Amino acid sequence: MFIPYPSERSRDIGERIEAFVRQKVVPYERDPRCLGHEPEPDLVRELREKARAEGLMTPHIFPDGQHMTQLETAAVLQRSGLSPLGPVALNTMAPDEGNMYLLGKVATDAQKRHFLDKLVSGQARSAFFMTEPWDKGGAGSDPSMLQTTAVQDGDDWVINGRKVFITGAQGAEVGIVMARTGTGDRVQATMFLVDLPHPDIHIDKVVHTIDNSMPGGHALVTLRNLRVPAAHVLGEAHEGFRYAQVRLSPARLSHCMRWLGAAVRAHEIACDYAVQRQAFGKLLIDHEGVGFKLVDNQIDLHQAALLIAWCASELDTGSLATTESSLTKASVAESLFRVADRCVQVMGGAGLSQGSVVEQVFRETRAFRVYDGPTEVHKWSLAKKIKRATLERRAQQNAG
């Protein structure tokens, strides 16, 4: 159920991460500082100090800026996810992991020094400002509905709009803002790098959601006459949608990696419970209704690991792997939620209680079915590709 290590360096780092998470991070899961909207800042600092002392801060990015292959990253990030607090401690969490990847690919050297270096060191967090309020017709799964605007004014850009469900905005020091730019009928977008906090970016509230693993929570934000210098445009103006594709597949896949680790842990806890708890004269695992659920978990976990490894391998060829990552995200999000749901069912009241991390994994994997594209949107997109490929095949057959 664990993704195999593809290299000795990933094995060395991964084994150290697994030991660190199980021994040093897991005891914090009942800490009152992680039971609210999100892990509190002093808890984040404390966990990161421990990771830094072990030489495990941001383990998938090396001191020279080199990034592990995606297959190596998959093996390592899965182990970091064995606790919902693992990615927080190790700086492998969303949205920072995806933002670091994007900045590493697109940012200028000056932008990397100013924005990226402090993210990689774990000294700062970031936020990606994309999603907008639905009641104003803003962008969600459909980025072409982007309403936030950026207008050029001399050497600056002036940004106005509202964003919602902005993970990590509270307490972040680096922001990537996606805004509508250009003229004409074709929707264009640009990404802007912003120092946070900023007086022209107002956090209206942190939305109460069912998940609570990510520092800073998920915020509703207003951007009012935010001025950004041209030097802080990420990449080229009007190319924001293209850069979003650079970030999209690896970031979507890293969610799968981390939550696979969490689901494996929930399964371990449910198995431990089932071989200790008795009912109706025998251990729970000896009842088919329980034992079969745990077998189904094992099947789903192995299939998820194989899909993640397959998609990671495609990314390592240099492909954007848009189809592969969409298929993987849709499948893995659903299968991991089934795993968490079965764990809750096996454990009964204990699985519903905050005293067990199983309850949190259930909530987090439920949210995972929505963010980074709801399952239905991925399937709709994949179905369109099936239609197009089938019609092209039929046309070629008819022409022959």
Burial class (CB in 10 A: 0-12, 13-18, 19+), 323: middle
pLDDT computed for residue 275 by the predictor = 98
Q: Are 147 and 116 in contact (CB under 8 A)?
A: no
State yes or no: pLDDT of 347 exceeds 90: yes
Domain ranges, ordered by start, for the chain:
8-120, 126-238, 241-390
pTM to 2 decimals? Answer: 0.94
What is the CATH code of the structural domain delimited by 126-238?
A: 2.40.110.10
Judge if the upstream peptide bond of residue 95 is cis by omega within 30 degrees of 0.
yes
CA 75 to chain centre: 15
Q: Output the CA torsion sign for 168, 173, 174, 179.
A: positive
- Tokens 């922001």 -> residue: 175
3-state helix/strand/coil string of 184-202? CCCCEEEEEEEECCCCCEE
**Residue 309: pLDDT band with limits 50, 70, 90:** very high
Which CATH number applies to 241-390?
Answer: 1.20.140.10
The answer to whether residue 184 scores a pLDDT higher than 70 is no
Q: Look up the CATH number of domain 8-120.
A: 1.10.540.10
- Residue 250's H or E segment, with its range, is helix 240-274
- Tell me the pLDDT tens digit for each residue of 167-180: 999 999 999 999 99
| Residue pLDDT, tens place only, 271-284 | 999 999 999 999 99
Q: Give me the pLDDT at residue 143, please.
A: 85
pLDDT of residue 186: 78
Number of residues assigned to the chain = 400
Tokens found for residue 314? 């495609």
Q: Where does the pLDDT of residue 355 fall: very low under 50, low under 70, confident under 90, or very high at 90 and above?
A: confident
Handedness of CA 111, 318, 236, 186 (dihedral sign): negative
- Summarised one tens digit per residue, pLDDT across range 28-83 is 999 999 988 899 999 999 999 999 999 999 999 998 888 999 999 999 999 999 99
What pLDDT was estimated at residue 144? 85
The pLDDT score that the predictor gives to residue 142 is: 87
